[in-house]
Amino acid sequence: MEKIPANIKHEIEKLVKDLNYHCYRYYVLDSPVISDEEYDKQYRHLKELEEKYNYVLPDSPTQRVGAPPLDRFEKVKHTEPMLSLDNAFSHDEVREFDERVKRFLKSDKDVEYTVEPKYDGLAMELTYRNGILIKASTRGDGVEGEDVTVNIKTIKAVPLKIEEVDAPEEIDIRGEIYMDIKEFETLNREREKEGGPAFANPRNAAAGAIRQLDSSITAKRKLHLACYGIGAAKGIAFKSQWEFIQWLKKSRFPVPSLIRRVTGADKVIEVIREIEEKRSTFPFEADGAVIKVNDFELQKSLGIKTREPRWATAYKFPAHQGITKINEIIASVGRTGTITPVAFLEPVRIGGVTVSRSTLHNWDEIGRKDIRVGDTVVVERAGDVIPHVVSVITEKRTGREKHFSPPKKCPVCGSAVERDEGGVAFRCIGLNCTAQVQQRIGHYVSRTAMDIEGLGEKNVELLYSRGLIKHFVDIYRLKKEDLLELPRYAEKSAQNLMDAIEKSKHTTLARFLYSLGILHVGEYAAKLLARNFEDIGDLYHVKPERIMEIKQMGEKIAGSIALFFDDPENIHTLRTLQSLGVKISNPDFSKEKEAKRPLEGLTFVITGTLPRPRNEIEELIEQNGGHASGSISKSTDYLLLGEDPGSKFKKAQSLGVKIISFDELAKMIEERA
């Protein structure tokens, strides 16, 4: 095989990294920073490069759907995968899709399709058993989603029981949860009155409502449902998509507001034009049209590709754009400390909405597009994200435009700023930064950190809103009588929280380091530090070179740790915690001195289904000195192989990585102990 040029390899790796980040923002955090159109453009470019050079990374977004679900809800495995759709951006590409279908079916006969609006909401699967709704789950990564049944039941459009028809033994009905545009605007006005941040778009508002731990909040959001698909089914069968839609109607399920059954590509395009013309009259956001082969037998014959079905595609409408001027650029600090440049614009109407601000994403983006304060720019609003600047109209420059440089200090707290992973974003390192206080508190009290039971997201928000905690240090200043004055706290619950706080004062160095939320320091890196430094004080003003002496600690993570522990405010905060009674032991350091651990210095990657849960096996590896990695590379020592392995198996074979079973891993630990 021809060697891949270094610049192409680097471009593919960067695209994979960027797209995975945007998948995480869109599917997990419901907080996208680029438009669907820009994502689709980058995704298509990645696919082209992968196919041309036969170079596919195991974590490429072309190998999966969406992103892993959050841990806020129990995980649910879909009986049949919930796939995403390939996209078409022109009428010619719709015709190309039709030709591919006919070519695959080895037929010149015109194919019958259904065409409907593409709702911009949150994909959902509703499972009914003997007619009763027993489960509702998000798409998640396509294979596994989040159980949001309690919240879904608050939506009046969702039938709790299948009526009017004989209910099947079991059926998975798929659809889109969305919020009407007018209801979205009302919600944002209410949030602004209360001093809260406005949602960027109806999709984010709907997704945020579905992921509320308090279902009463979901009930207030006035969400809607449009059903359009079927997953697994027992006791019922349909011949076509059209027949299924008619069954949904009879069963009192809401279906797309406009759906047509037509034959041939030309008729499909006519319906696309109809939907686009009516788009502005829809009460919901629609960013395209969905085209499906109508006949289910033909769908079965066509099958699926890695990421999407061959029998469907989504036609994406062009984004709305406008021309305006950048009056000012500010550095905005997010709840995780990431600093984002935001442009304040001369107000301009785009797609029926007045736009007065736009994200600039990061300083690399500013440099690439050469964006300056005072520039006249093209701004895009695709109806699904915060507006962004597409390009600068350089012909309009007067010479008075000004560059906007990245900050050297955090604009909120004045702490040092460092470049984030990959050199794209800048981030404040300050433990005391008010912009990121709630996120830091939430991380500090989490189960894998200081493990303070009773301080979940809702209670952190409550205590913060009442001014009782403005920093995680304040947790240790809480008094029982303060809690008793709050809603949801009675004598027992208040005492339970005080007991949990007291218990957390006795922790290990590894847990404590992880709880601080130092950039790049996850649980494994925290354990490595604990094995090599006996006391927290040994890390104060540590040099990067000392960190890099530890195997698997690179320059990037070493620089982040050294910068954190060189900040006087951070050190003062750590000493304050100790003065409030936090006692830090370090069993990892003493164990390190006693004996070398069986898997010391070895890197393992896991693939397939194993006899024990993956997290338990990863913990077993790390407890014995090894490192459990998520991706295969030349530095991987062993691939731990289970049943039904993924693409990592082939990658390991191509790289010559040694492949072992779980039994062989257990034997390795036993023999080396």
* 415 part of a folded domain: no
Distance between CA 137 and CA 130 in Å, rounded?
A: 18
Q: Residue 390 has what pLDDT?
A: 85
Which entry of 41, 106, 118, 505 is annotated as an active-site residue? 118
More confident residue, 432 or 484: 484
Place of tokens 């925290």: 526
Domain with residue 200: its CATH number is 3.30.470.30
Per-residue pLDDT tens over the stretch 86-103: 999 899 999 999 999 999
527 labelled catalytic:
no
Distance between CA 517 and CA 522 in Å, rounded?
A: 8
Distance between CA 537 and CA 522 in Å, rounded?
A: 20
Residues 581, 432: one domain?
A: yes
- Report, as an integer, the average pLDDT of 158-165: 82
Q: Among candidates 227, 206, 201, which has minimal Cα distance to 218?
A: 206
Helix (H) or strand (E) holding 202: helix 202-210
Residues 510, 384: one domain?
A: no
Domain boundary among 316, 339, 363: 316
Place of tokens 């949990």: 500
Per-residue pLDDT tens over the stretch 74-87: 888 999 999 889 99
* 510 part of a folded domain: yes
Distance between CA 97 and CA 163 in Å, rounded?
A: 37
Q: At what angle do helices 437-445 and 457-465 cross, to 10 degrees?
A: 140
- CA–CA distance from 454 to each of 460, 467, 507 (Å)? 9, 18, 17
Tokens matching residue 344: 């304040």
Of 153-167, 212-226, 310-324, which has the strongest mean pLDDT? 310-324
Per-residue pLDDT tens over the stretch 274-290: 999 898 789 898 989 99
Overall number of domains in the chain: 5
* 404 part of a folded domain: no
Distance between CA 424 and CA 341 in Å, rounded?
A: 12
Tokens matching residue 472: 């995680």
Q: Among candidates 312, 304, 300, 313, which has minimal Cα distance to 89?
A: 313
Residues 286, 330: one domain?
A: no
* 446 part of a folded domain: yes
Domain with residue 630: its CATH number is 3.40.50.10190
Per-residue pLDDT tens over the stretch 545-569: 999 888 767 787 888 899 999 999 9
Q: Residue 28 has what pLDDT?
A: 44
Q: Residue 596 has what pLDDT?
A: 59
Contact in structure between 214 and 151 (CB atoms under 8 Å): no
CB atoms within 10 A of CB 283: 12
Average pLDDT score over the chain: 86
Contact in structure between 77 and 142 (CB atoms under 8 Å): no
- Report, as an integer, the average pLDDT of 526-548: 92
- CA–CA distance from 499 to each of 171, 481, 578, 584 (Å)? 46, 14, 18, 18
Tokens matching residue 38: 């820009």
Q: Among candidates 364, 387, 363, which has minimal Cα distance to 377?
A: 387
Contact in structure between 404 and 357 (CB atoms under 8 Å): no
Place of tokens 């109508």: 294
Contact in structure between 341 and 355 (CB atoms under 8 Å): no
Tokens matching residue 598: 């069986």
Q: Residue 64 has what pLDDT?
A: 47
Question: pLDDT confidence of 498, banded at 50, 70, 90?
Answer: very high
Percent of the chain with pLDDT over 70: 92
Q: Among candidates 400, 385, 386, which has minimal Cα distance to 325?
A: 400
Residues 232, 345: one domain?
A: no
Across the strands, what pairs with 174?
125, 229
- CA–CA distance from 115 to each of 118, 252, 314 (Å)? 9, 21, 10
Domain with residue 343: its CATH number is 2.40.50.140
Residues 444, 564: one domain?
A: yes
What domain range is 182 assigned to? 77-316
Tokens matching residue 24: 């995480």
Distance between CA 91 and CA 269 in Å, rounded?
A: 7
Residues 379, 446: one domain?
A: no
Distance between CA 433 and CA 420 in Å, rounded?
A: 17
- Report, as an integer, the average pLDDT of 430-450: 86
Q: At what angle do helices 6-23 and 36-53 cross, to 10 degrees?
A: 140
Domain with residue 506: its CATH number is 1.10.150.20
Sheet with 627-629, side-by-side order of all strands: 627-629, 603-607, 638-641, 658-660
Kind of pairing between the strands at 417-419 and 426-428 = antiparallel
Contact in structure between 621 and 599 (CB atoms under 8 Å): yes
Per-residue pLDDT tens over the stretch 610-627: 878 777 788 788 778 788
Contact in structure between 516 and 536 (CB atoms under 8 Å): no
- Report, as an integer, the average pLDDT of 106-124: 95
Tokens matching residue 241: 């998509």
Q: Among candidates 360, 363, 501, 519, which has minimal Cα distance to 431?
A: 519
CA angle 108–113–116, rounded 5-degree value:
155
* 468 part of a folded domain: yes
Place of tokens 């490595």: 528
Contact in structure between 600 and 626 (CB atoms under 8 Å): yes
Residues 107, 226: one domain?
A: yes
Tokens matching residue 62: 């072309």
Contact in structure between 539 and 529 (CB atoms under 8 Å): yes
Distance between CA 313 and CA 315 in Å, rounded?
A: 7
What letter would DSSP give residue 51? H
- Cα dihedral 233→238→242→244 (10° resolution): -40
Distance between CA 373 and CA 462 in Å, rounded?
A: 39
- Report, as an integer, the average pLDDT of 352-360: 82
3-state DSSP of 66-115? CCCCCCCCCEEECCCCCCCCEEECCHHHHHHHHHHHHHHHCCCCCCEEEE
Question: In a 3-state reduction of DSSP, which class is residue 157?
Answer: coil
Residues 6+ apart with CB under 8 A from 74: 146, 147
546 φ/ψ angles, rounded to the nearest 5 degrees: -65, -40
* 413 part of a folded domain: no
Residues 449, 362: one domain?
A: no
Place of tokens 């695209």: 15
Domain with residue 43: its CATH number is 1.10.287.610
Residues 215, 295: one domain?
A: yes
Residues 546, 582: one domain?
A: yes
Whether 533 shows a pLDDT value over 80: the answer reads yes
- Report, as an integer, the average pLDDT of 117-126: 94
Residues 311, 329: one domain?
A: no
Of 381-385, 447-451, 520-524, 618-622, which has the strongest mean pLDDT? 447-451
Whether 330 shows a pLDDT value over 50: the answer reads yes
Domain boundary among 544, 563, 591: 591
Q: At what angle do helices 91-105 and 265-278 cross, to 10 degrees?
A: 140
Question: In a 3-state reduction of DSSP, which class is residue 469?
Answer: coil
* 661 part of a folded domain: yes
Distance between CA 518 and CA 529 in Å, rounded?
A: 12
Distance between CA 286 and CA 288 in Å, rounded?
A: 6
* 72 part of a folded domain: no
Domain boundary among 331, 361, 396: 396
Q: Residue 268 has what pLDDT?
A: 97
Contact in structure between 341 and 404 (CB atoms under 8 Å): yes
Per-residue pLDDT tens over the stretch 24-74: 576 545 567 787 778 888 888 998 898 888 888 866 777 644 444 444 678
Place of tokens 């309009």: 396
Helix, strand, coil percentages in the chain from 3-state DSSP, rounded to 5:
40, 25, 35
Residues 220, 278: one domain?
A: yes
Tokens matching residue 337: 């400390």
What radius of gyration, in Å, describes the C-alpha atoms of the chain?
27
